[in-house]
Structure 1
């Protein structure tokens, strides 16, 4: 199941058929979201104690029966439902069961279900954090920053399955801060360590039935949501509620055969209604092991993803991984720089806003500059929210673009599995600028998007341990030396890897990608699948070498003639007759004219870099496109015929023509969604490197 966010483009009140604007719809959905948030906040605050969490963690009610999976039903089975105000109007029917923020507020039982469902989800999420905190408190070491081997073993025995090292570090720091604040006293549990979680303003329509909300699909691009909304902030009777028909515009990611489920309504700060629409479609069963061709991707700061394709050769004790040597690169340096500038601008706005608020608090209300300072702080707050929304949108778009490129590469290369680093173990260290870039990247979004897109293509996504992938040589498993560049091996750096044992010299991220695909293919027997989320992980690393395949030896002319003669029919007996020649025999190529090719596998792809007429020459490994003007267009943009001599144009027109020609030539936005992202083109491998191929591959094609 996936979730797509769509927006409403038309809303009508069903009773009178009158259309309403976006502002009125936003206001009424906000009324309902505020009612649900108030119900959830009251219930979570009332049950935020260790005793209630113990009862919920047991999973059974007072009669010993298992609690249902639906949250609102489980809370009502335990008797935790929110009581109605004393002055609220009630009735025998379920429609009149009320609860609200103040006395006299009327809400239906379906609205109460939505609030209780959200509260149950928040309390169930707190159970995992509580288990981690209790395990840390039971084995609290003398030095929290450095545990001994015995202390780590005792902690791992009490922790829940699947807890990462990053979560252990974060919870340890949280408890250590509490101890420092409270004069060395440990907290009694999660409820003392943390305040009740903040509740978001949203409406879970999944907890309601058809008497409160219905959903139907109209066509491939639209759906219709029918929901009962309050007409005021504090409805006092059923007359203050009305049915609204909302037409939704579906994104292109929702296929025509997808089954739509009850959505979630969220009022956004920009004045729009975000509709989180879950949809599902049948997916093929993907095996967890038994893969022969896979791709491993390494995570980087500027080079977002660097991949290497590998094939499993041999069996059991003789199993080994071979690769074709090509590097799959998704370079988002320009986008990463833009995000870093936006984050710097956001911090600057926050600092100025806090400065104005501090000045206003120091001056007080009677001062004449007090109102001006608050006004400036409000302006900066709006700009801060706008920059934050820009960062979120750019991060999300970049993550889905990288995931789509990775899945396309796997499908083109015939890989049935994608191996990723376990991103939860990645921690920002070093300088502040590097920490900001690393912590601001959406590693989890990339992994989730890749799992979603790979499931559609029938490709498995498995995470492997990230520790040591860049430290050892993929060819001989010796310690790698890290240097700034291949011609600066005497200096220490991080970009280039060089092995003094076998002489391997290549990009550090590419070496790590080969190690990742090797760990994945060799450790398939240790793949574990999480039942709740379906995430597949290999936690036991299996080390092995990676070998670049070699080309077949060049056949001699004598062998080629013998093979050709074996396929010809036998010549009849008699004297040999030679027909008259219509053209002279061409000269045999001299050794200088023959191509001198090496049988070793190069570090570039087999498809050559094309250099058509009028295109810019580039190094091997990157494609260029010939300008392809659209039919019926005479010029780049405005229909002006292209001059035969561009130097005759004015300087401004000449620069515009150069920009338009470059834009038509690259077509970068059509490939990756960005104009400044450099990604390896999707080229299929030859059939001989497929799942049933040999260890060889054909020769590299010559340039045109």
Structure 2
């Protein structure tokens, strides 16, 4: 199942057919989302305690029966229903919520279901964090920054399977900060360590039935959504609700045969209605094991993805991984720099907004500049929201472009599985700029998009341990030295990898990609599939060497003659004669003067350093620069025309654009004008189980 975000382009009232404008529709969807958010916030705040989380974690109700999978049904089975009618002098109408902010507001039972469903999902997500926090508190060490081997063993015994080192590190920092703020006292649990989580303004239509919403498909590019929306912010009766018919434009990612499910509604800050529409279509499940050809990708800071193709050769103890040595690169340096500039601009806007708000709070309302400061803060807030939306859209577009490129590479190379580094083990260490770039990358979105696109083509996506992939040599498993460049091996750096043992020298990310594909192919028997999400991962590290399979050398004329002479019978000694010839063919006359031929490039000093007329001097080895013709108008000094002819007219702009388009054909495949990626073409069409076909070669020039 996947989710596509589409927008509404037309809405009408079902009673009377009155058309509803975009602004009014956005306002009414906002009313409904705020009502659902308030219901969810009240329920989460009321049940944010250890006793309620214990009851939810037990998975059974008071009678000992298991809780249903639907969140709103589980909440009602436990007796955590949304607050009922509040006591009032006059009887409240049926369906009125009467506690807190919802006092006197009429909402139907279906709207309550949506709020209870979102609250149940929020509390269930907190259960995993609670288990990690309880395990850390039970095995809290004397020095949380440096645990001993025994302390690590005790912690791993308490934690559930699959908890990463990054999650342990982050929760440890959170508990340590709490202890520092409370004079060394540790929290009693998650509910004391954290405040109730914030709830988004979202309407989960999946928790409602046909009496509140329906969704049907019209054609391949359109769908129709019927939903009952409030006509005001605080509806008092059933008459304040009305049916709205909303027509949706389906994006191209939704296939014509996909089945649509109940969506979720959101009112965006830009004044549009976002409809998160889940859709599903049956696809064949990719196998978890039995892979022979794979592609491994390594994450980078500027080079977002660096890949290598590998083939498993041999079986059992003789199994080894071979590669063709060709790197696959998705370089997003320019987009990363743009994102970093946008983040810096966002932080600057937030700092100025907070400064104006602090000044206004210090001056107070009677001051004459109080309103002016608040107006400036409001302008900065709107600009801050716009920049945040720009960053989100650019991140999303970059993630999907990288995922499409990776899946296309795997399909073209005949790979049946893609191996990635485990995202949870990555952490930025060092300068602030590197931390910002690494934390700002949307690796999770790239991985999810890659899983979605690979499932359509029957390709599996598996994560492997990332620890040590850049530290060892893929050829001999020796310790790698990291240097700035291949010609600066005496300096310490991070870009280039050199092995002093076997002499391997290549890009660090490319070496890590080889190690990743080797770990995946050699340890594919240890693949674990999560039942809830279907995510596949390998937690067992199996290291092996990677051998580069070089293509055979091209046969030359000398080699072909030697092979032909070895197969043919030996010729008798004497001059070579042809039947019918009385005498041998005379040799060609040698010219008097023959210029020596050489295949080496001529030295730059052989090029004259001046023009034939000796009018312009230039450095040796550089072409003559033809100056532009001097027109009579504007010179005013009587300078004669130059003796050389005028240069030919420049080409038109259209031809120049076509030339640039041909040169950046590989770039435009990624969807960005400034992203450089390896072209998708099957250089190794049968680099699979047999691998007998040689790599195709480029055709000779005529």
TM-score range, shorter chain: 0.7 to 0.9
1:4–1:691 distance in 2 versus 1, CA, 3 Å: same
Rounded Cα–Cα distance in structure 1 between residues aligned with 2:47 and 2:8? 36
Residues paired across the two proteins, number: 627
Rounded Cα–Cα distance in structure 2 between residues aligned with 1:535 and 1:279? 19
Rounded Cα–Cα distance in structure 2 between residues aligned with 1:673 and 1:463? 26
Q: Is this contact kept in 2: 1:552–1:698, CA < 8 A?
A: no
Rounded Cα–Cα distance in structure 2 between residues aligned with 1:541 and 1:352? 49
Q: Is this contact kept in 1: 2:422–2:466, CA < 8 A?
A: yes
Give the deviation of 1:657 after TM superposition: 6.4
Counterpart in the other structure of 1:108? 108
| SS of corresponding position for 1:433 | helix
Q: Deviations over 1:592-630 (max 9, x none)?
A: 99x9xxxxxxxxxxxxxxxxxxxxxxxxxxxxxxxxxxx
Q: Does 1:204 align with 2:201?
A: no
1:89–1:312 distance in 2 versus 1, CA, 3 Å: farther
Q: Is this contact kept in 2: 1:254–1:279, CA < 8 A?
A: yes
Q: Is this contact kept in 2: 1:61–1:77, CA < 8 A?
A: yes
| SS of corresponding position for 1:551 | coil
Q: Deviations over 1:416-468 (max 9, x none)?
A: 00000001110011001111111110011111110110001100000011111
Counterpart in the other structure of 1:362? 362
| SS of corresponding position for 1:127 | helix
Q: Is this contact kept in 1: 2:421–2:516, CA < 8 A?
A: yes
Rounded Cα–Cα distance in structure 2 between residues aligned with 1:232 and 1:550? 72
Q: Does 1:494 align with 2:491?
A: no
Counterpart in the other structure of 2:55? 55
Rounded Cα–Cα distance in structure 1 between residues aligned with 2:536 and 2:29? 39
Counterpart in the other structure of 1:306? 306
Give the deviation of 1:114 after TM superposition: 0.4
1:524–1:104 distance in 2 versus 1, CA, 3 Å: same
Rounded Cα–Cα distance in structure 2 between residues aligned with 1:313 and 1:306? 23
Q: Deviations over 1:477-531 (max 9, x none)?
A: 0111111111111111111111111111111111010000000000111111111
Counterpart in the other structure of 1:218? 218
1:360–1:697 distance in 2 versus 1, CA, 3 Å: same
1:317–1:20 distance in 2 versus 1, CA, 3 Å: same
Q: Any runs of at least 4 consecutive aligned residues in structure 1 with deviations exceeding 6 A, and if so which?
A: 88-91, 558-565, 653-657
| SS of corresponding position for 2:330 | strand
Counterpart among 658, 679, 689 of residue 691 in structure 1: 689
| SS of corresponding position for 1:672 | coil
Counterpart in the other structure of 2:676? 678
Give the deviation of 1:379 after TM superposition: 0.7
Q: Is this contact kept in 2: 1:647–1:654, CA < 8 A?
A: no
Q: Deviations over 1:115-151 (max 9, x none)?
A: 1000000010010111010000000111111111111
Q: Deviations over 1:7-64 (max 9, x none)?
A: 0000000001011100000111111111111111111111110000000000000110
| SS of corresponding position for 2:669 | helix
Rounded Cα–Cα distance in structure 1 between residues aligned with 2:338 and 2:129? 35
| SS of corresponding position for 1:312 | strand
| SS of corresponding position for 1:689 | coil
Counterpart in the other structure of 2:616? none
Counterpart in the other structure of 1:514? 514
Q: Is this contact kept in 2: 1:294–1:419, CA < 8 A?
A: yes
For structure 2, the 5+ residue unaligned runs are 569-577, 586-595, 600-645
1:557–1:663 distance in 2 versus 1, CA, 3 Å: closer
Counterpart in the other structure of 1:407? 407
Q: Is this contact kept in 1: 2:683–2:696, CA < 8 A?
A: no
Q: Is this contact kept in 2: 1:85–1:102, CA < 8 A?
A: no
Relative to the length of structure 2, the TM-score reads 0.85
Q: Does 1:133 align with 2:133?
A: yes
1:564–1:179 distance in 2 versus 1, CA, 3 Å: same
1:366–1:97 distance in 2 versus 1, CA, 3 Å: closer
Rounded Cα–Cα distance in structure 2 between residues aligned with 1:459 and 1:672? 20
Counterpart in the other structure of 1:275? 275
Counterpart in the other structure of 2:614? none
1:668–1:685 distance in 2 versus 1, CA, 3 Å: closer
Q: Is this contact kept in 2: 1:215–1:262, CA < 8 A?
A: yes
Give the deviation of 1:564 after TM superposition: 11
Q: Does 1:42 align with 2:39?
A: no
Q: Does 1:171 align with 2:210?
A: no
Q: Is this contact kept in 2: 1:297–1:419, CA < 8 A?
A: yes
| SS of corresponding position for 1:305 | strand
Counterpart in the other structure of 2:345? 345
Relative to the length of structure 1, the TM-score reads 0.85
Q: Is this contact kept in 2: 1:99–1:112, CA < 8 A?
A: no
125-134 vs 660-669, which moves further: 660-669
Q: Is this contact kept in 1: 2:520–2:538, CA < 8 A?
A: yes
Kindly report the root-mean-square deviation, in angstroms, between the aligned alpha carbons of the 2 structures.
Answer: 2.7
Rounded Cα–Cα distance in structure 2 between residues aligned with 1:563 and 1:357? 92
Give runs of aligned pairs for residues 365-514 of structure 1, distance below 5 A. Answer: 365-514=365-514
Give the deviation of 1:83 after TM superposition: 2.6
Give the deviation of 1:89 after TM superposition: 6.6
Give the deviation of 1:689 after TM superposition: 1.8
Q: Tell me which structure has the larger Cα radius of gyration.
A: 2
